[in-house]
Chain A
């Protein structure tokens, strides 16, 4: 109930921001801008979905940016050096990213490292690995060779629903990028996983009350490991979409993305103290960040001022959430009072 009302509040905030820019920013409310928003931030949304899992488990994953680079570079190498077919490359990259995430989980579960520091260590290590395996350094000339495999570039496809429905004569609908649909599928899948399976319920318990989870016979180690693996998987998926969009991978891909993902997740109502949140919020959070960035650019606001405003909005978003939380608690106390005095 309360989680849902928080999500509505966030949605309201998003819609308000959106409408503001529609009114204030020139060419914000255009079909092509919607395309830009969808294709430019779907992968951020996927990263934010992934990041929700470690955060729900009271952890954090700082290494997602490096995993993005790693998965991207694996695609690059397999395609341009080993000339493997795309249908084979994509699953390999996803598996590698998932394993990289699982290794984070292993460090947290088995070596009992604090998630922040464990993933900080792997952030460095994975990035180093990317440099090591970089086809751009190993084979001269590859840095200017785009990836042309249809399996991969095909991911950067747009769907024109307007003409499909035959209504394009009187409205122009944005063409929807495939990445957006992939994001929706991921969202639906993980929403289902969290909300409707034992694993998901267990994950909330492990994050919210680890002792209760243990006493209920839940294998907390396995759940935690799986949570970090999901984060890795999402990073791998984001990497594939990025590679399709860029037709290449670079060694620096994904730098700083962990911060966007964390910010989107927390704005989306995933509590850093674990056990509270959904994957819907982070997706809204990601597109909220996107709306703000694009909107401010279209408003012609200097990039430096943009940084200041984004920071302020981030504080406002978590502060707003905090206020709602306080109000909710106060209401609860009041309800309780009525009950006891009744």
Chain B
């Protein structure tokens, strides 16, 4: 018996992988074509993948969501110009263990590049390490991993949320009671955004008071409920920060119904199409907009370079890190965002 990590440091045992003989003669005979895998196919890497046909790339998302869907569109846009790439989208179902299992499957399948939107930085690190050992490049989206890997393309949650806090406070004139529409713990972007926002307020507008921090489960409907309730207890509520746009739009719905449009300062985060339109209509005050298509394109562009095989995946001691430029979209700035950039 031996510890896997130790052995693997000594030499990549995957090189010895010859496919599985199930130990059954009958099966072996029946499946000569299936199990008598050429020793080469066992060794994984872009070159062998290409030998077998197209290069495989896959994106493991957090859960079905607008943002990941837009990334996927951006990636496909780039990758489909390369006819040798097979791309597909896999769903992590908001569960770390599912993401880990999908990573394992993709490693086994011999993907060239895995795009990963990790639910957690640490939890996916062992999987990323495993992928690296197998010569697979991993590109993380939005949430970095503690294991160094090929590239990381991020929306910039923490600093973005700080900037939101700044703009938010400016709109409020530096004072007032505000509420946060939060998500339940368990995914890291929630923590990064909340912390960024709170730190930003502390830094730029210490006079602003957070009177409520309630979970609305990322949901517009629940956000409506929570804000209605909070308004009853805090009639002076001056501002609302939604950790994502859906929840902010829920607050907008309530503001509209109660005739508070324009009076209540509401910020979201993400910058989806609906949010931008709401800003233009003068309902939502602002959001952090990131060109998510572009983010996907960047990731895909990086992937095509990596898949060329010129840079071995194991070589990434220090990963490339790209913080996406973002705009704090408000009524003033929203016009600069082109229709083609809206998702």
Residues of A within 8 A of B (CB): 19, 22-23, 26-27, 29-36, 39-40, 43, 131, 134, 136-137, 140, 143-146, 154, 156-160, 164, 168, 171-175, 242, 245-248, 250-253, 255-256, 293-294, 297-298, 300, 302-304
Chain A residues within an 8 Å CB radius of B185: 131, 134, 136-137, 251-252
Query: B194: shortest Cβ distance to chain A, in Å?
Result: 10
User: Could you tell me if A251 and B122 are in contact, using CB atoms closer than 8 angstroms?
Assistant: no
User: Could you tell me if B19 and A172 are in contact, using CB atoms closer than 8 angstroms?
Assistant: yes
Besides A31-B17, A252-B187, A256-B93, 15 other CB < 8 A contacts? A27-B110, A32-B108, A34-B20, A146-B122, A157-B1, A158-B3, A160-B13, A172-B42, A246-B124, A248-B123, A250-B120, A250-B123, A252-B184, A256-B95, A298-B105
Residues of B within 8 A of A (CB): 1-4, 7, 13-14, 16-23, 27, 31, 34-35, 37, 42, 88-91, 93-97, 100-102, 104-105, 107-110, 119-126, 146, 184-188, 191, 195
User: Could you tell me if A247 and B126 are in contact, using CB atoms closer than 8 angstroms?
Assistant: yes
B18, B96, B100, most chain A CB atoms within 10 A: B96
User: Could you tell me if A172 and B18 are in contact, using CB atoms closer than 8 angstroms?
Assistant: yes
> A39 vs B100: C-alpha distance in the bound complex, in angstroms?
10
Query: B130: shortest Cβ distance to chain A, in Å?
Result: 10
Query: A341: shortest Cβ distance to chain B, in Å?
Result: 45
Chain A residues within an 8 Å CB radius of B1: 157, 159-160, 164
User: Could you tell me if B16 and A144 are in contact, using CB atoms closer than 8 angstroms?
Assistant: no
| Also in contact, A29 and B20, with CB within 8 A (given A250-B186, A251-B185) | yes
> A158 vs B95: C-alpha distance in the bound complex, in angstroms?
24
User: Could you tell me if B184 and A131 are in contact, using CB atoms closer than 8 angstroms?
Assistant: yes
The contact of B109 among A26, A29, A171, A253, by CB within 8 Å, is A26
A131, A144, A246, A253, most chain B CB atoms within 10 A: A246
Chain B residues within an 8 Å CB radius of A131: 184-185
The contact of B105 among A145, A250, A294, A304, by CB within 8 Å, is A294
User: Could you tell me if B123 and A303 are in contact, using CB atoms closer than 8 angstroms?
Assistant: no
User: Could you tell me if B17 and A251 are in contact, using CB atoms closer than 8 angstroms?
Assistant: no
What are 26 A-B pairs with beta-carbon distances under 8 A? A22-B34, A29-B19, A30-B20, A39-B104, A40-B97, A131-B184, A143-B121, A143-B122, A143-B188, A144-B122, A157-B4, A160-B13, A171-B20, A171-B23, A175-B4, A247-B125, A248-B120, A250-B96, A250-B119, A253-B96, A253-B97, A297-B90, A298-B109, A302-B88, A303-B89, A304-B91
| Also in contact, A248 and B90, with CB within 8 A (given A22-B31, A31-B20, A160-B7) | no
| Also in contact, A246 and B108, with CB within 8 A (given A137-B191, A297-B90) | no
> A26 vs B22: C-alpha distance in the bound complex, in angstroms?
15
User: Could you tell me if A29 and B3 are in contact, using CB atoms closer than 8 angstroms?
Assistant: no
| Also in contact, A29 and B89, with CB within 8 A (given A157-B1, A247-B123, A250-B96) | no
6 A-B pairs closest in CB distance: A252-B186, A248-B122, A246-B123, A36-B104, A251-B185, A251-B186
| Also in contact, A27 and B109, with CB within 8 A (given A22-B31, A252-B185) | yes
Q: Which residue of A lies closest to B4 (CB)?
A: A158
Q: Which residue of A lies closest to B56 (CB)?
A: A300
> A256 vs B186: C-alpha distance in the bound complex, in angstroms?
14
Chain A residues within an 8 Å CB radius of B104: 35-36, 39-40
> A60 vs B159: C-alpha distance in the bound complex, in angstroms?
46
> A306 vs B23: C-alpha distance in the bound complex, in angstroms?
30
| Also in contact, A30 and B119, with CB within 8 A (given A137-B191, A158-B4, A250-B186) | no
Chain A residues within an 8 Å CB radius of B3: 154, 157-158
Chain A residues within an 8 Å CB radius of B14: 32
User: Could you tell me if A300 and B120 are in contact, using CB atoms closer than 8 angstroms?
Assistant: no
Q: Which residue of B lies closest to A18 (CB)?
A: B22
Query: A94: shortest Cβ distance to chain B, in Å?
Result: 19
